[in-house]
Structure formats: C-alpha cells, structure tokens
Structure 1
C-alpha cells in the first residue's frame, strides 16, 4: 500500500515506519524540511506546511493517511502561550491534512488521526471505553475535542476515519518513561502523588502495530483506544519500575511539589483515567505487551 504519514519523524512515527517497512509498503513522510532528513529505504519525504509546497501532487493514489502531527505535551510548562501552541499545532496540521485530501482525485480508503485518552477527563473510579463521553472538561479534554472536531471534516474525503486515542506511550528513549525512570536510576524513586491515579499505558511497538491493524481492518471506524488491556495505578507502576531495575521504591513525590515545579502540566502524572481498549480487543488485536512488567523488561533491560 501507499501510506502517507504526517509527523512521521517523531517518536511514534519512527516506530510505525519500522513496522510498515517489514511489509514493504510505500511510505510518504510529510515534513517541513525534507532536505534535512536522513534517507531511509522505502521512504519518500514530501514537503508540506509551506507556501511553496503542494504535497497533494506527490500523494496521488495513496491508500491511507495517518496524521501524527502536533506539539508534544511535554514540550514545556503549560503557560498560556504553550497551551495555544499545543492546540493550534494540532488543529492547523489537521486542517491542512483535510485540504490535501480534498485535492486528491482518488480518495484514501482510511484516514487515521492521532488523538488522546485525555478526551474522557480524569477519574480514579470511572472506567472508560470508546463509548464513554467526556465526564469533565480540562485543558486536555478540550484540546482533544477540538482536535477530533477538526479531523471529522476529513470524513468527506475518505472511506473510513479513525481517531487513535493514545494512552501514555512507553518507549526506551522517548515519551514519558525516561523521565519516570530517572529517579529510580538515582536510587530516589517512589510513588508520585497519591499513587491512586490510573495510568493507561501502551508499549510503543503495540502503538505501531495497532495503527497498521486499523489500516488493514475495514470494520474499524471512529474512536479507538490505544492502551494496553491492563491499566495500572501509579503506585503499582512505580513499584514495577523499581522491581525491573532492582532499585528501591521509597521516596514519595508529594502533589504540591509537582504542582509547584510543573504548574498545570502536573496533571499529566497526578491525574489519570482507567481506559480499556474495547475496539481493539473486539477485533481480536493481539498485544505484544499486554502486561506492564513484560513491557518494562523489554524497554529497560
């Protein structure tokens, strides 16, 4: 298949490229600076988000478009300016994706737009599936709602539209895990906040595999939770890191300290939601890493 990826140079994008190359797909990466990219066999870089660019001319006949673009939530303290960048980067790139799709004579069979489980809001008691609605509105849930609303315009230009609602993605050198592991490596790891908050996690390899799974399965449409089937509370998550690294778990990090250090961004680790991947399980997707301890062994050993 011919598959276009916006945001293909990022953490998830690189894992996805590895998965797609195994099956010899034609890969088109949309990027602002194609001239600065390292050549990869089977990958063509296409310039976009530039007045001189016409990416639609190079994407004729694509079978799938996967949009992973957006400013990282971990890119800095959530000042009003940073929050505006986070929202606008998602809305603007998604709007450009829809424009490109509208220009294509042959429409792709599927469009997958990145999203997040932040859509649901936070809770220590609720269990969320793809059928759940937002239970409270905070910055993350409002951002995701705006993002998905903009992406929904792409329905007119594709066979299927999937919202990939990512949980906390665990990777060896990127994502949230390295920051969470550092205190344990310094023998100073411990429970973050109350420890009761839920962490709906997923191994980055399973993210890449599930994206391709959604491309290949015509019955999958709409929201899809990208999270492992075994969400864990933060206290257990920390203890498991300590066990895998053979480090103690004894220095608690009080909520007020994180709120002082990170401001509103502290909600990423102090609050959470228990999310179940009903759609992937219903369609019999097999997780390579359904168990947290096995996932951490793979990433940290």
Structure 2
C-alpha cells in the first residue's frame, strides 16, 4: 500500500524511529511532531509542537492517512507524586489536544492509532487476557492506562477511525527492555527474577511497525487491539533462553526482596519486572495477521544477530 502522509506525534523516541524508518519508503512524507527541531532525513521531517496547545503543526494533520500518537513519559521510574502527575499528564494532555484538533479539520486523518499499554490487564498466571474477555487490573499503572484510553475514546472523531494499541514489552536491538536484560546476562545475573513464574507478553520492534501497517489496511478493525506476540513466556524460561542463545551457561537469580532494593537504587518499580503479563492478540489473529516474529526464540536470535 502507498501512503500519502504519515504523522507521528511524539515520534522522536524509540518506537517513533522504528515507525518512521518503516513507513518512509511507503509514504510520500513522514512528519514527526516533536518538541525540538530535527534535521530532515529523506522524506522524514519534523514539526515543532509543545503537545499542549494548537499551532502551525495542526495544518499537517489535514489529509493524513495515518496519525500515531506515541506521547508519554517513560514509566521506568519511581512512582513519586511528581512522576505520577507527569506520567498521566504526558499521555492525557496530548491525546486530548489531538482529539480537539481533529474535530476542527476538514479532512482529518483516516486512522488515528493511540499508543496504549498491555499492562492494563490484571496480573495473570491462570489464562491469557484478550480484548474481549480480559480482566482490567488495579493499581497506579492500570489507572494511568484507563484514563489514557478514556480520554482517547471520549473524543468525537466521526470521520477518523480510532484504535488504542495495547503494546506489550517491546523487544528491540538498541532500546527497550531487551538490552537491559542482556546486560544482566553478560554480568552473570541473568537468572530468574522473583519466582520466575510471571509471564512476559512481548512484541518484536519490527512487528509493531508491521502491525501498524496491517491496521491501516483493515478498515473493519477499530477500538482496542492487543499488540503482543501470540506466545507469552515465563520469566525463568525467557532468561534461560537469552543465556542459551548468548552462550552464557549460568545466571544468578534475583529474589523479590533484592529486586525491591535494586529498584530503589536505580529509580524504578519492581512491578515492571514481577507483574505477570499474559496477553493474547485475539483481534489480530482473527483478522488473519501472520506474525513474522511469533516465537520468542526467533525474536531473540534476530536481535542478538545484530548485537553481536
């Protein structure tokens, strides 16, 4: 499929870069909305916005084939009152702003995909959580997901199809969770974390781009969509697979109490590691999507083939 214009709001981060590079050869232009100007690369350009108020950037949304909103402060931090407010505001304010702008456009974007999180589901070790039968969890991170999605779906955009993409843990070569876990393996600390029975619902970085492209082509899909590989894996098996693939025979386990101590030292929360995320992408499977990286072994081999 050939696209005219792709807009990536908050697209100067990790996932934004993946999407920009993927869509660049497929589109006439890719426009990133960012707080700071960036040099133009091929047909990828940047428009400055503050993500809080309308500006000249609003004109770029006219006649866009796709708008992807990736705005949001990284949750890999301590949940202090200040960080909690910034985590919420950095998601809700840009989403609300984009909705209000779209309402004013003559030819609004055909599809608006808003980043969301698969962590919205409860801690699950008994069964996978899909879009229809999954149970919403509780706690701060879930509350963030709920208000984020509510803001998105409360906007009135009758001429723009909307999808909240509930993304799992992104596995990539240069950013995200994988390089950090690989470092633990390299240092001999790549054993299970906690009791190791918690599930990890993951997605290869390139799969996110392929799924985004698929969703533009399937106009029957709207609402909430899980963006995870169909195969979840337990933490202990995942860490063992990284060790085996990388060639490290052993890895010291990290008990929950030590994780809690380490999280305080490095400024994060143990929830990011100990919560069991068992999520199933039922809508994608029902639509006929074929995963390029459907098995974790294939994904790890691909990532390590670049890192080594």
1:200–1:51 distance in 2 versus 1, CA, 3 Å? closer
SS of 2:176 mapped into structure 1: coil
The answer to whether the 8 A contact 1:107-1:157 is kept is: no
CA offset at residue 256 of structure 1? 1.0
Deviations 1:102-158 (A, max 9, x none): 221112221100001111121221310011344431111111000000111334254
TM (norm. structure 1) is 0.94
Compare 177-186 and 229-238 and name the one that shifted more. Answer: 177-186
Written as runs of structure 1 = structure 2, the 5 A alignment for 1:40-189 is 40-49=41-50, 53-74=55-76, 76-189=77-190
TM (norm. structure 2) is 0.92
Compare 132-141 and 243-252 and name the one that shifted more. Answer: 132-141
The answer to whether the 8 A contact 1:16-1:208 is kept is: yes
1:176–1:158 distance in 2 versus 1, CA, 3 Å? farther
SS of 1:265 mapped into structure 2: coil
The answer to whether the 8 A contact 1:170-1:204 is kept is: yes
CA offset at residue 53 of structure 1? 2.8
CA offset at residue 294 of structure 1? 1.1
SS of 1:298 mapped into structure 2: helix
Deviations 1:184-230 (A, max 9, x none): 11233211111100000010000111011112210111111110011
Written as runs of structure 1 = structure 2, the 5 A alignment for 1:193-272 is 193-262=194-263, 265-272=269-276
Compare 49-58 and 216-225 and name the one that shifted more. Answer: 49-58
Q: 1:10 aligns with which of 13, 16, 39?
A: 13
- Does structure 1 residue 300 correspond to structure 2 residue 304? yes
SS of 1:125 mapped into structure 2: coil
- Does structure 1 residue 26 correspond to structure 2 residue 21? no
1:155–1:289 distance in 2 versus 1, CA, 3 Å? farther
Aligned mates of 1:78, 1:248 — CA distance in 2 = 35
Compare 47-56 and 111-120 and name the one that shifted more. Answer: 47-56
- Matched length: 298
CA offset at residue 51 of structure 1? 5.7
The answer to whether the 8 A contact 2:120-2:145 is kept is: yes
Unaligned runs of 5+ in 1: none
SS of 2:269 mapped into structure 1: helix
Aligned mates of 2:15, 2:298 — CA distance in 1 = 20
